């Protein structure tokens, strides 16, 4: 689903999926798991999430920043994502999760944002992959 990448000043991940929809969902899961212990997150409530971009790379950055806004701004953790619409310019999805409980969802790292540094989204041999560096 994803792997964490070491970086001198920040942290990153490489995610993959059989479809571009699966790639975007796995990328969101990767970012959340870097920031918070996700094992105890329950799918209690649904939350709409949407983003736009000029291509898959900018769309992925904007998508992840929307998920990050839910984590930080709304204090909501999302355990599962269902992508309803995904083009290179737009994503519309529903995330299922719950309000963050510091006892059940202890923090790991503070993710400040998603960067364009070394950003990559590509399809190769029938599999989608993304590389993302997070500002911590």
Query: 124 to each of 59, 91, 128, how far by Cα in Å?
Result: 19, 21, 6
3-state secondary structure of 117: coil
User: Is 2-135 a domain of CATH 3.55.10.10?
Assistant: yes
- Strands of the chain (E only): list them: 2-6, 11-17, 45-52, 76-86, 90-99, 113-114, 120-124, 127-135
pLDDT of residue 84: 98
pTM, whole model, 2 decimals?
0.93
Q: What is the pLDDT of residues 9-61, one digit of tens each?
A: 789 999 999 999 999 999 999 999 999 999 999 999 999 999 999 999 999 99
């Amino acid at each position: 689903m994803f792997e964490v990448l070491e970086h001198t000043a920040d942290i990153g991940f490489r995610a993959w999926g059989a479809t571009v929809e699966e790639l975007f969902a796995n990328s969101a899961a990767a970012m959340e798991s870097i920031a918070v212990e996700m094992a105890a997150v329950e799918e209690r409530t649904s939350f709409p999430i949407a983003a736009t971009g000029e291509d898959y790379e900018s769309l992925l950055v904007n998508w992840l920043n929307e998920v990050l806004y839910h984590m930080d701004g709304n204090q909501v953790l999302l355990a599962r994502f269902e992508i309803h619409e995904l083009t290179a310019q737009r994503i519309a999805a529903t995330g299922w999760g719950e309000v963050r409980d510091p006892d059940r969802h202890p923090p790991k790292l503070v993710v400040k944002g998603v960067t364009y540094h070394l950003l990559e989204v590509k399809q190769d041999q029938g599999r989608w992959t993304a590389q993302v560096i997070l500002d911590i």
